Structure 1
Amino acid sequence: SQAIYKENHNDRDINCLGDYIQGAKNCYMCFYSLSSENLAYSMGNFQVKDSYDAFGGLEGAFIYDSNGGIGNYGLKFSFGVKFSRDCEYCDNCANCHNCFGCIGLKNKSFCVLNKQYTEKEYWLKLDQIKTQMLKDGQYGEFFPPELALVPYNISVATSYQGFDDIEKAKQYGYVVQDIHETSPETIRQIIEASVLPKDIKNIQDDICDKVIFDQKNNKKFRYIKAELDFCRRHNLSLPLEHPSVRLTEGRKKLGPITLKFYPRGCAKCGKKMQSVYQPDKPQFVYCEE
């Protein structure tokens, strides 16, 4: 018999289109949105309101085109900002307000490119910068792909279905890094994953100093101490596949995460619905009714 798939995994949602939405209201094209309201094209948010293109946010409002923020208000085009308001193009700043193009600042205000200005100077400088950026077509988007912190091919992006095309990533401007051959010194420290003891009690602490070779996927990796401690605490065998493979397989079990929804009919009652499963695919998808 063929498996039956749910229309979505939403719970206690009102007027939402997405998947894995819980206790939320008015969320359109969203994934993993919890206790949030008035979101669109967003993912991984908890208690976030009135935001668009927000990824990985916690307890914020009026967030636009930003990633990984906590406790922010009026944040635009920023990454990793915490407990700040009215900041744009900022990276890893905390407890700041009215800052533009700043990195790593704490408890600051009226700064541009990490330089302190008076409030009057700040607004004049900001007007000059935004005017020029608008003329050059640069304002209004997140940081360009070439400024990504890690090369695309070794980032978690490839673990999402439909985002593993490296050549297409290059066309968008993402940096792709060649993976170098393992040095002779490192080769002597390599252990094939298949020969590792299954019983975690037989694993020594120095396993974290070794390079593990995942033969199945032709990838090398290391264990970290936190991972070893976790497996010991729960009496689990060490995972034998490369972390990126584990992440990819885990995401597959959650269903497609592509921010695309398709009209299709319920396989049981025929009711029209929106689903992440394409209508030309063989899955049996049932509506909530």
Structure 2
Amino acid sequence: MSRIVNTAQSQAWNGYEGTHWADHFDRYDAINAGFNESLLSAACLTADSRILDIGCGTGQLTREAARRAPRGIATGIDLSGPMLARARERAGSEGIATIAFEQGDAQVFPFPAGEFDAALSRFGIMFFADPVAAFSNIARALRPGGRLAFVTMPPMTGTDLGTVFGAAATHLPTFEISHTHGPLADRDGIRALLTAAGCTDIAVDYLEADGIWGRDIPDATEFIMGWGPVRHHRMLTDPAFAGSARAVTSPVAANSGPPSSTEVFAIDDQVRAAVAAALAPFATPDGIRLRGTAWLVTATTPLP
């Protein structure tokens, strides 16, 4: 693996976070696949395209891109060893030959200059330590006139996801659903970032797509309880959870010291019940369907 500068993210995606995504790849794909068609169309791929998928995870988007470029090649890059193992396994089982995967940090990975016709990403570009440096490196990897297309997450407030995670946050004092991914959270920030990275013809459009979060309310609830951010804030609230040594008291217990074991279990039960109740309006015969939101971003690299 090449040099890593985003060490915190590398630790997360090679630990619990990456393992959870690798183990539940089909569930995460069911959540995010609704964005694939819009994203791939925006990338303007041809049968000969050389494609870079940034933060490719378990590789569903990379595989779909490879199918659209049968005479080209699709290369996925990600920090996560567990997710890349799953990506390689899936590509092999589907018999896709024009595909490759690299483990590395796209912010500093030594891509050959002008190697790719298109770079794309499905929510895999939100975690760079230095976004300008990262997108500058990606832009250098594109040929002149190359195409960049990705989706990134707007703030969750007021969305289906905001409703569900906001219910969990009511009982998890460290969980801030208003948290955003820096300059990638709004149109002006995205345009400024990509301009600084040397991109042109920047467009930012709002996109929505349904995702399936589970078979039914109990199934989706347990999945969400194990999802990385929710699990992290459960650990912060519960000093005994998964060996965590850090205690953060709930608002109810704020003036009475750390929560007791009884209070801890009560808090966790409250989170589970709140999530289940918030999911109820989204139950359908097809499963728990939440509408996801994204910024669909496109740009090009300058011609000589």
* TM-score bucket of the superposed structures, by smaller chain: under 0.3
Query: TM (normalized to structure 1)?
Result: 0.27
Query: TM (normalized to structure 2)?
Result: 0.26
Name which structure has the greater RCO, CA cutoff 8 Å, separation 6+: 2
